[in-house]
Structure 1
Amino acid sequence: MTASEALTADPDGDRVRAVVTGIGVVAPSGIGVDAHWRTVTGGIRRTGPITLFDPTGYPTRVGGEVPDFHPAAYVDTRQLVQTDRWTQLGFAATALALADAGLPDRAPDPYAWAVILASSSGGNLFGQRELQRLWGGSSRTVGAYQSIAWFYAASVGQLSIHHQFKGPSGVLAAEAAGGLDSLAHAVRTIRRGTSVVIAGATECPLSPYALACQLRSGLLSDIDEPAAAYRPFDRAAGGYVPAEGGAVFVVEERGHALARGARIYGEVTGWAATHDAVHTGPDTAGDPAMYARAMRLALERSGSTADEVDMVVPDALGVPRYDRSEATALRAVFGDRPPPVSTHKSLTGRAHQGGSALDAATALLALHHDTLPASAGPTDPAPGCELGFLRAPRQPRHRVALVCARGFDGFNSAVVLRGAPPAPRSAPD
């Protein structure tokens, strides 16, 4: 039995299961899975001064930008003028995911392929430019594509057209939680008969308008030193650093993947979403009970126990009251000795829904490489945040990871990922 067959052997009979066969990363950590993995395992900080616009005069001037991103390498001239950078990042991540999965750029059976991505703020840079032209230019007009480029479903629409994904497609809006929700909806879509689903998310919240909107929350860091600006769960935590980018996945029906001999990263075995159902105010920090419920339900639906979880990848907002609330939720699920916790958002910044998708990519790569990466902090855990942060890499025992995310205004999501068996290690010469 091959590693892929061992992963997908179904003890429950003929229940349809979904596996991840491709990952496309376009993030501050780099372009492609190899660049991202080097950043994570090397603990390399990729945040720095915002350059996409002049942030002088804003209290937050540090962000996470995708390095050396050239949209023309992934998007043709016609699409370039129709789309925002956020969608262009999505084009790049999708192309990389398809190539990583060994699938063609165009769906050979369009109605058997779909795309379900998450979104939150849409095409900010495009909208900013057009509105400035409307109110500041002599023509007092906007371009024809303003009506579609800013729209939160623009990336799904453009990818569906370009790649001929004509199956049941959609877009999810749950802020950072959406990156995980997209994986859950991809599995549901697979179980309803679709062979291949593109899932995940990208984001580009780095524009004057987008930054101003985020600043209203009071949750952003105002520290100019990148190494100190974003420190989740640390005594010195003072807010998050905004970032662009994210990750896109090829989620595939297991029989379809096995029939073509695909390499399998892992399987989405359980998921859950809850909502706090209360108003989010300036002093609130999310409901740890509802957050914990999402984690428990995800584990229950996956058929995994808390003892089997090798690693938790948390939301890691970097705001003290939210960090304590998340730690409280984790202790409610796992007791006083939670499994190793590893977060790398301080290296890249928080890319909203793209950030939770990137966390899922990190977890899948960790299981694929048979290495749980050390957490990028905290250096000095804050009171109430004393979790089992992974201080050195180690091998997973059960090949199970729990990825958690919260979206502003009460969204909570959790996904359980089970890695494929590792490839046999080569014997030394």
Structure 2
Amino acid sequence: MTMQHTAIFISALFAGHVLYAAPTERSLSPSRQFVIYGSDAALRGAVSDLAERTKANLLVLLRQRDNWTVPIVVNLQPQQANLPEVPPAGLRFSQTGFGLKLQLDLTISQNLDVSLVERELLRAILLEMIYRKESHIATGTVFVEPPDWLLDGVLALAPGRDRGYLVEALTAANKSVPREAFLRQHPGLLDSAGRVLYRAYSFALVQMLIDGRDGPVRLAQYIGHLSDASNEPLANLKAHFPFLVGDAEGSWQLSLHRLRNFQTYQLLTFAESERRLDELLRVKVSEANKPAKAAALDELAQRKISPSEKMALSQLSRDLLVLIAQANPVLRPIAREYQQSVALLARGKRRGIAKRLSHLHATRKQLAARMSDIDDYMNWFEATQIKNGSGNFTDYLKAADQSQLSASKRHDPLSVYVDALEDQFEN
């Protein structure tokens, strides 16, 4: 999507001339960033809570502290019968004699869409982050709004959000849209089905960006530099996310594949993750008219790789990205380190990789030994200490108990007689 540019209308505050008709009643949010005007105290409180929660979700996603500098005014105004064409939400960005000001006008009606309010609050929060360090903006300057994919992606990643319909929309699509084409889409021109699919693509893109190395920090930096961004959305992303410089489209298609399987995959156990990682690290190199052969990463890190080995490493890098999503959380950082090392090898960068792989191998051995000790202890504890077990040892304990019991006696007349004689001899 092409960056949206909107003219900033700079205005000064004079006596009797203000940006909004300020009611006497107002509320200040806990972080003091949101100043909410309106006659209904309960409504002001609800909007304050939604605004703070929206900001908190964004800060957690970006792993940033709340360092706001520009307050956001939220003006709650009732719908007027003589002005039915007034939009439900309007965001104003202006400069006053006291600095920048963000004002969100919300028209309150019975049909007010809460998701729209949340989206506009997020837009205002992102605008504040974009222009936080620019205290003086000249008249006529254009400002850059946060892209729609960023708004939709951040909202989709909010805690407790239902993403099932996004997965269904993506699964039902006949083919995937290339990333550059997606970035240039205008969601306002799409029908309802296309809009849902756009949200699904946005979810996949933001998830992919934050999953990369230093992803949250890089995304925060990307937002902070949007005011200087060009009209080339993909180039802007590549400037902040180096992994997009290489196989950008391959990474995009892999992210879509992971999203399609969002509801179907389950996390692997540690042992399953280890086995899968071992399988992947046996690099299978295929050459024309020759049987596939296995190559060790340690070996490939010592010499210049061939074109066929480069293709095999690129495929391995993509497979490891899938494993990172499925692996046991304990092993996930190691899988990510392997993926980053393989990606460097695929680009012909061998410096320091052999030492890095050796360290990973040693770490895996230590981790496997520690996990084995933990499993042994948990098995012992469950089998001997707790009253209500999981049932995993039921058959074993039953067999052990039965082995200590005497064999069951027969009750036919001859057996009863023999047993009686045996008792007499023993006594």
Same fold (TM over 0.5): no
**Larger fraction in helix:** 2
**Larger fraction in strand:** 1
Normalising to structure 2: TM-score of the pair? 0.25
Return the structure number with greater relative CO, CA threshold 8 A, min gap 6: 1
